[in-house]
Amino acid sequence: MITIAGAGVAGLASAYELARRGLAVTIYEAGDAPDNNPCSWFAGGMLAPWCEGETADPQVVRLGAGAIAWWQQVTEVVKRGTLVVAPPRDTAELTRFARRTESHRAVGAAEIAALEPALAGRFQQGLFFAEEAHLDPRRALRDLTRAVQDLGVQIRYGTPAPEQVDVDCRGMAASLPGLRPVRGEMAVIEAPDIGITRTIRLLHPRIPVYLVPRGDGIYMIGATMIESSSWRPITVRSLLELLGAAFALHPGLGEASVIETGTGLRPAFADNVPRLSHRGDTTHVNGLYRHGFLLAPALAKELAAQFCQDHSHADHCERQTA
């Protein structure tokens, strides 16, 4: 029996990969339902490794490349690419973004209009990352929860983990040395008439934002990145900036309803790259920063591979089927 602390995206993905190899797994989750995860619940759900390459370590791009196929096993993934645009005044940002990233092509006004009719005439230049995708992180968490339960994984909600677990996936609650919180704030809006179908990134020197469609006219707008451990609700300034940028993307979003705002603390190491680390008999899966959904699959696979090499578990590991 393998015990895991934390049923966020890292804990569930780890359980999935271990259970798929025939190992018995129990997850302890302090929250009382999948909806109460403090970090994964507020994620953007972008599966956009190449866009992230603008500032992220090359490892993030490499590890994230398999995420789309992995999530397609358990939940609906919308693979319509990412469209990156910039207001006319900030096209230099687009040049810089293009230089720092791969797997994109330049698109002009006509192609932007064809990809997203809602943005027709609003942007003259953009970049299209055709291979990228997005998912609804809340639906994905529920689907993944069901998938691991179908594989026989026990999830004990409302139950703090015992002192000794095999795998610790509790993010900031794990209080690992070198781990720091990066506060993120987001808003969810409802704009039934806009009809944007893929992730849009609006580049801006001060306030770059992304808008991720959640279906049914719902969009997530994110996200701030503040070196802070504060849980307090989104600040007026942050909300102004996020919504102002959304309004700059499309004035029609000015009529949208703000249906939710949220704050989460992303766990990050100094290089903002996640890793497996060993302390005593516990393996920590942590530091996923802003890449929880993007990188949890790769880390979970690495974790499962380590457990299957370990003699005490090796006898129980079945040959991996997929």
Determine the straight-line distance between the first and last CA of the chain, rounded to whole angstroms.
22
**How far apart (Å, rounded) are the C-alpha atoms in residues 102 and 82?**
13
147 Cβ partners below 8 Å, 6+ apart?
Answer: 16, 73, 74
Least separation in angstroms between residue 295's CB and other proteins is 15
Least separation in angstroms between residue 49's CB and other proteins is 15
**Choice between 59 and 73, CB closer to other proteins:** 59
> Comparing C-alpha atoms, which of 34, 15, 11 is closest to residue 25?
15
Least separation in angstroms between residue 270's CB and other proteins is 4
Least separation in angstroms between residue 82's CB and other proteins is 19
DSSP β-bridge partners for residue 264: 184
Least separation in angstroms between residue 52's CB and other proteins is 10
CA distance to 72, 150, 213, 227, 291, per residue, from 66 (Å): 10, 23, 21, 29, 13
Q: Look at the alpha carbons of 54, 57, 62, 64 in this order and tell me if their dihedral is positive or negative.
A: negative
**Choice between 147 and 273, CB closer to other proteins:** 273
Residues that bind other proteins (CB under 8 A): 55-57, 96, 99-100, 179-181, 183, 205, 226-230, 235, 237, 268-273
Least separation in angstroms between residue 272's CB and other proteins is 4
**Choice between 148 and 176, CB closer to other proteins:** 176
**Choice between 199 and 263, CB closer to other proteins:** 263
**Choice between 45 and 53, CB closer to other proteins:** 53
**Choice between 56 and 68, CB closer to other proteins:** 56
CB 200 within 8 A of CB 249: yes
**How far apart (Å, rounded) are the C-alpha atoms in residues 219 and 215?**
7
Q: Look at the alpha carbons of 118, 120, 122, 128 in this order and tell me if their dihedral is positive or negative.
A: positive
**Choice between 114 and 231, CB closer to other proteins:** 231
The β-bridge relationship of strands 2-5 and 46-47 is unpaired
Which tokens is 186 given?
A: 């987001």
Least separation in angstroms between residue 93's CB and other proteins is 10
**How far apart (Å, rounded) are the C-alpha atoms in residues 290 and 10?**
12
CB 293 within 8 A of CB 71: yes
